[in-house]
């Protein structure tokens, strides 16, 4: 496949994450470095979001429901590609490829599998673009977790020869990438970020998320509940490790908060503190010399959560990835555009030190656009 179109090397990245808030899409030109041309966000219709939440656990008619949801997602992914191409003033068929992650509904690497709802063939037909998808399973087949996959992109974009940096993605789940000036790139999922915060807020306040962390900021941390949450065995596991809604879900939250009798905002504050403390603990233990922490994902725009992270990591400079060249809400979508480029070029996209795979692997499967 010819990876160059004229004087540009254009790729799209399409990501819908654990937070289930919608789809982020970008178009980037990788001809000389990485130049973002356009970005867009498309929210999930409420009916689709309810169905995706329902498919996180076993239920009736699950296979049929998953197939139908995959088609609905594929149509939205195609719409996102067309929309972001229009914003970038390019045609979809001018793209070399689009990296389309799909929607994770189960993640069981310890059993040798993960599941992302998607219909890449349908996306290729509807958007008239070559699609790269199914990024995680090859790494899992090679003994890895299939996650996190963004550290390779973080290393390519954000590593600095003078400063020890850490990049933290605060999506539904929080993950970190350790970027020392020299030596191996490492990373892993530290625990919940927005997934529990959003669940509690929706239950008690309505709406998809706690804008700016205002509800959490109005509450007081319940120390006994926080201590019980911090005893979750996942936090003490050694990396490589990854997690998701399979563990950190409503059932986990209800079990740990079952005896809580305080105000709803106090639990919101406690959950925010859980995210900040587990992230900070992971950095102190595994990236102890870190000088700078850069945040991306939806949590980077939660002022209360950012403040808690800053307080938990005195002496570490904390800021959004905007400060080092990429808007915090565009990093993950851009990462999958970059990963699609690596797949098309036949280059490995995983970091074995991060995922635990037996070695570097070319990720994903390619679905060519129509003739």
Extract the tokens encoding 140: 């899992």
Neighbouring-strand partners of residue 318: 293
The CA distance from 184 to 366, in Å, is 29
pLDDT of 120: 98
Cβ distance 280 to 174 under 8 Å? no
pTM over 0.85: yes
Mean predicted confidence (pLDDT) in 142-149: 97
The CA distance from 214 to 260, in Å, is 21
The CA distance from 217 to 92, in Å, is 43
Q: pLDDT at residue 147 above 60?
A: yes
The upper half-sphere exposure of residue 335, i.e. CA atoms within 13 Å in the direction of its Cβ, equals 25
pLDDT of 3: 42
Q: pLDDT at residue 261 above 90?
A: no
Domains and CATH numbers, the chain: 10-147+331-367 (3.30.420.40), 151-324 (3.30.420.40)
Q: pLDDT at residue 2 above 50?
A: no
Tell me the pLDDT band of 207, cut-offs 50, 70 and 90.
Answer: confident
Tell me the pLDDT band of 146, cut-offs 50, 70 and 90.
Answer: very high
Radius of gyration for the alpha carbons in the chain, expressed in angstroms and rounded: 20
pLDDT (tens digit per residue) in 12-44: 999 998 889 899 999 999 998 999 999 999 999
Measuring CA to CA, how many Å separate 158 from each of 31, 65, 143, 292, 330?
18, 40, 27, 11, 14
Name the least confident of 113-122, 155-164, 253-262. Answer: 253-262
pLDDT (tens digit per residue) in 273-326: 999 999 999 999 999 999 999 999 999 999 999 999 999 999 999 999 999 999
Exposure string over 207-237, b if 16+ CB within 10 A, otherwise e: ebbbeebebbbebebbeebbebbbebebbee
């Amino acid at each position: 496949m010819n990876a160059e179109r004229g004087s540009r090397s254009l790729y799209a990245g399409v990501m819908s994450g654990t937070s289930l808030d919608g789809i982020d899409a970008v178009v980037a030109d990788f001809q000389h470095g990485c130049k973002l041309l356009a970005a867009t966000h498309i929210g999930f219709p409420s009916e689709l979001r309810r169905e995706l939440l329902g498919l996180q656990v076993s239920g009736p008619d699950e296979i049929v429901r998953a197939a139908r949801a995959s088609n609905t997602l594929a149509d939205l992914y195609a719409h996102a590609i067309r929309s972001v191409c229009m914003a970038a003033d390019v045609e979809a068929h001018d793209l070399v490829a689009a990296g389309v992650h799909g929607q994770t509904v189960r993640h069981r690497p310890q059993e040798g599998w993960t599941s992302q709802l998607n219909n890449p063939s349908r996306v290729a037909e509807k958007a008239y673009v070559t699609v790269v998808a199914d990024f995680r399973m090859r790494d899992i087949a090679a003994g890895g977790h299939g996650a996190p996959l963004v550290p390779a992109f973080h290393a390519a974009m954000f590593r600095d020869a003078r400063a020890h940096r850490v990049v933290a993605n605060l999506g539904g789940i929080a993950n970190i990438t350790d970027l020392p000036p020299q030596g191996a790139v490492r990373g892993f999922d530290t625990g919940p970020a927005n997934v529990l915060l959003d669940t509690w807020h929706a239950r008690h306040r309505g709406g998809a998320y706690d804008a700016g962390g205002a509800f959490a900021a109005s509450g007081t941390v319940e120390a006994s509940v926080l201590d019980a949450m911090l005893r979750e065995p996942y936090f003490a596991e050694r990396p490589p490790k990854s997690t998701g809604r399979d563990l950190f879900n409503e059932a986990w939250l209800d079990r740990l908060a079952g005896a809580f009798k305080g105000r709803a905002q106090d639990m919101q504050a406690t959950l925010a503190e859980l995210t900040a403390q587990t992230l900070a603990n992971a950095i102190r233990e595994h990236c102890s010399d870190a000088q700078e922490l850069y945040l991306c994902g939806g949590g980077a725009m939660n002022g209360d959560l950012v403040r808690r992270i800053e307080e938990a990591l005195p002496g570490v400079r904390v800021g959004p990835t905007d400060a080092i060249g990429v808007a915090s809400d565009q990093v993950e979508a851009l990462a999958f555009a970059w990963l699609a480029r690596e797949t098309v070029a036949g280059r490995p996209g995983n970091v074995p030190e991060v995922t635990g795979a037996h070695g570097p692997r070319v990720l994903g499967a390619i679905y060519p656009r129509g003739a």
